[in-house]
Amino acid sequence: MREEIIVAGSGGQGIMLAGNIIARSALSSGKYTTFYPSYGAEMRGGTANCSVIVSDKEIGSPVISSPSVLLVMNEQSLIKYLPRVKKNGLVIVNSSLVKSYPDASIQVPATGIAIELGDVRAANMVMLGRLIFGTNIFSKEIVTEVIKDVFKGKQEFVAELNIKAFLKGNNYDKKS
């Protein structure tokens, strides 16, 4: 098994946090992983993306030329990375902010769901939940434990909100 994942969006959307949780979940699952962040020149609102590779075998390079999975939070990122996705790759888009997605993609209104849960910043966790559901690279229980660990020391409701958002995304079905 080998998944090459690009998570992309704008600064402030939790792109690096989502990628970091994927990488930490891979380690917790006994898999090999790389995490390669890339920031735009701006702080908030600029571009942000990260590459994460999860594999059963050692990884020679963290560079991804053709991702098997693309998780995009905004329109700019879809335009930039969609042409690079492998044929029959998994594309998950935040349909709250991306309006011109391909038919074969999975559309998740992540920003809207996060707002319903009480904090727009949890949209990345909704998307992460759908990614884990779509790839099944590790169990939702492992990811939930990693999220708890990442938010340890913060106010308890922060971890609870992020776990709730992750589980909502993990159970999201376009028909529901």
pLDDT mean over 46-55? 93
Q: Are strands 47-55 and 32-39 parallel, antiparallel or unpaired?
A: antiparallel
Residues 6+ apart with CB under 8 A from 79: none
Q: Which CATH class for the 2-170 domain?
A: alpha beta
- Name the one residue in this structure whose structure tokens are 């884990």: 132
- Express each pLDDT in 84-102 by its tens digit: 999 999 999 999 999 988 8
For the stretch 52-77, pLDDT in tens is: 999 999 999 999 999 999 999 999 99
- What is the pTM assigned to this prediction? 0.93
Burial (CB < 10 A; 0-12, 13-18, 19+), residue 83, is: exposed
pLDDT in tens, 1-19: 999 999 999 988 999 999 9
For the chain, give every domain's residue range: 2-170
